[in-house]
A and B are shown apart, each in its own frame.
Chain A
Amino acid sequence: MRHRRPTRQLKYRADDQRAGYLYILPWIIGFLAFQLYPFLASFVYSFTDFSILRPMKFVGLDNYKRMFTSDRLFWTSLKATVLYVLMAVPGKLIFALFIAMVLNMKLKFINFFRTIYYLPSILGGSVAISILWRFLFSRNGTVNSFLNSIGIGSLDWLGSPNLALGTMGLLVVWQFGSSMVLFLAGLKNIPQELYEAARVDGAGRIKTFTKITLPMLSPVIFFNLIMQMINAFKEFNAPYLITQGGPLNSTYLYGVMLYENAFTYLKMGYASAQSWVLFSIIMGFTALTFKSSPYWTYYEDGGEF
């Protein structure tokens, strides 16, 4: 019946499309009002001295000039952020992959374990977890008690400018869940025959891991790398809630600086400029990763898809 009236089918399509737009209208409105407009507005603001309630004035490139030349905290913050990304992202990916491999084994109650291991990611950004982290890593906290009991002295995990950033990185590594799930799915997609063949050829565990698992997982690693990198650059909750950027500005990540300029110092225009610089940095790193991907990712379809 259907293929007997092809012309009428085509006619309907115009109507269908209109109805289709109607159905996605809520999303379109949301996107225009809450994403595209703020996005463009912040670009315009970045050339003004917009402060919250005063009328704004255009100041040309002043905000950008000030950022790179006279802001005493900009470079400190950028350095801390890059360091943080370099610590947190690989840490998180390695840990996520490790847990995914464990959970990929045929264990009893495996679904239960998978759920449990995903939990930290759900709790992740919450205030309560940040407070918990403060307690765990405070001078008289659980971590130090444990270290004392095995004969190692207390460390000021969050109080020492040299350690605080690393401690914060641990919190993010601990929230490995979403990367882990992707890795797990990737692992399940690797054909078992490859492993069988390797075993027959006498390859050990390490060899199968480096020659089969890693290459076959490379598209997933690539995706996770991009996503986690973007998230790490934008990190705000942990430093803001746990250390407020201190001590000695060692955890004064870009997101915190941005927020303080906007909402504590009311320099909205300046903060907009900073957010565009952050955007360009993230774009730059993402582009680099994309450019490098042909050299280290493997697609069964040759990447043609």
Chain B
Amino acid sequence: MKQHRIFSILAVSLLVLVISMPAIFAAGGKEAQPAADKPIALRFSWWGADTRHQATLEAIELYQQRNPNITIEGEYGAFSNFYQKLLTQLAGRTAPDIITVDYKWVSDLMNQGAPFVNMNTLTGAIDQSGFDLTFANIYGGKDDYLIGLPVGLNGMGYLYNTRFLEKYGVKSSDEWTWETVIEMGKKVQAADKTKYLMYNNAEHWVYLIKTMLKQINGNTLLLDNYELGFSRNEMLQIFAYIDTMVKTGTVPPFNEGVLYETVYADQNPNWLNENFGIFPTSSSLIPGIAKASNFTVASMRYPVAKNAKDPGILVTPSMFLTVYKQSPNKEAAAEFINFFLNDEEAIRILKDTRGIPTNSKAKNILVADNVIPQVVSDMVSQALTGVGAAENGPSLNPEVIALTKDFVQQVGYAKMTPAQATDAYMRELSALAKTIQ
């Protein structure tokens, strides 16, 4: 009997010990270190291609050397699931201290209670003098609140394989209209039935619709009051154009292309094997794509319709760096961001892996060093000749985007005629708009 009791007592005390262990260690750790250089562990999350990962890790390494008490743990991966992961972390209050945020999520996150420190309160810790804050506020601000600092400038354009275009007699120019695209598409098909002028991934089809719409009537898909930003005729025109692109073989049949609709050209074998020659993209993705391609790439301006109401070309921040509101080390996080965006050495390490820096100080250093690849600065300057009106929250809503992608497929797979798709799209989008207000 005694024995059993002893065992029970032992088991209970063991359990208590196990449960309280972390607390004991935590308490011990705190007292042992003087406050000034107590070890701080920061977590920093970003997405991107290998070139970006390597440069970022190198910059982190440098920062850790300079600040031995700080360790920074990178959480990085592909773009495709980054947002979902971030949301789960935010829900569980386990998000990293420094978070990269895409402009497309800003409105969503603001509605969710803006879980990031207001950048305007961090002017002491982060030198913001080199930033165009008006631009930052268009995409990342609301009233007095700014979600983070825009790291790079992103412009949309046509990235092309120079060899491919030459081979099929397609002449690049910054004066392409939507008609030129079809004309050139036919030209490539006439020469070789298995080659296509271009490929749009799912994300890009949505950009195409949005840009065409701005060129037609200057509106976003949904207006700020959640009304449709187009008439039936205007959307019909756009769906009919998509239909023409598919039927003329300007883009590959959806059956073939759909497998790569969520990745960029660097992971698309048809781009790498030169089965198509143009990939519409944001400038910040160029370094990764150029590295994967074993041919020369160049950039031309995005198509703009004649008499366009608004040239509509998308120019946005490539991403925002933010500080998590629940972070126990907000100051350290802000200091790191300051280093990341303003430190000369860091700028030289990071180069243009996050697009051309919006920080003019950083941009000037890189221009002086001559490290921004011609094709990247080309695409940005071409885009800057026709900057479209900014996107608004309702049009960036993920459900609106998913719905739009669905209808592109309906037309692309010829399951619906452009007219049927227009009617159904208008019906579904109006219904959806009511639920997301």
Q: How far is the CB of A33 from chain B (nearest CB, A)?
A: 13
Known contacts A18-B8, A53-B115, A161-B413: A156-B255 contact under CB 8 Å: yes
Q: In the complex, which residues 1-44 of chain B have their Cβ closer than 8 Å to any Cβ of chain A?
A: 1, 4-5, 7-8, 11-12, 15
Q: Which of B112, B399, B409, B410 contacts A54 (CB 8 A)?
A: B112
Given A52-B87, A263-B84, the answer on whether A19 and B409 have CB atoms closer than 8 Å is: no
Residue B367 lies at the interface, judged by CB distance under 8 Å to chain A: no
Interface of B is mostly: helix
Whether B12 lies near A22 (C-beta < 8 A) is yes
B91 with A52: CB separation less than 8 A: yes
Among B140-148, B204-212, B257-265, the stretch in contact with A: B257-265
Q: Out of B112, B115, B256, B262, which one reaches A139, CB within 8 Å?
A: B256
CB pair B410 A248 closer than 8 Å: yes
Total interface residues on B, CB under 8 Å, equals 39
A120 contacts the other chain (CB 8 A): no
- Taking a contact as CB atoms under 8 Å apart, the answer to whether B4 and A12 are in contact is yes
Residues of B28-69 contacting chain A, CB below 8 A: none
Bound-state CA distance A156–B257 (Å) is 10
Give Cα distance in the complex from A134 to B343, angstroms.
43
Contact B269 A140 (CB under 8 A): yes
Per-residue CB proximity of A56-80 to B under 8 Å, as 1/0? Answer: 0000000000100010100000000
- Asked if A286 is at the interface of the complex by the 8 Å CB criterion, the answer is no
Interface pair B398/A265, CB less than 8 Å apart? yes
* CB of A51 closer than 8 Å to a CB of B: yes
- Tell me whether A249 is interfacial, beta carbon within 8 Å: yes
Q: How far is the CA of A11 from the CA of B5 in the complex (A)?
A: 13
User: What would 16 more interface pairs be, CB under 8 Å, given A52-B87, A156-B255, A248-B410?
Assistant: A19-B8, A25-B15, A52-B91, A53-B90, A70-B431, A72-B428, A139-B256, A158-B258, A159-B254, A159-B259, A247-B409, A247-B413, A264-B84, A265-B398, A265-B399, A266-B108
Give chain A's interface residues, CB within 8 Å of chain B: 8, 11-12, 15-16, 18-19, 22-23, 25, 51-54, 66, 70, 72, 134, 138-140, 156, 158-161, 243-244, 246-249, 259-260, 263-266, 268
18 A-B residue pairs with Cβ-Cβ distance under 8 Å, sorted by A, are A15-B1, A22-B8, A52-B87, A52-B91, A52-B112, A53-B112, A54-B111, A54-B113, A159-B256, A159-B257, A159-B258, A160-B255, A161-B415, A246-B261, A248-B409, A248-B415, A260-B402, A265-B398
Residues of chain B touching chain A, judged by Cβ–Cβ distance below 8 Å, are: 1, 4-5, 7-8, 11-12, 15, 83-84, 87-88, 90-91, 108, 111-113, 115, 254-259, 261-262, 269, 398-399, 402, 406, 409-410, 413, 415, 428, 431, 435
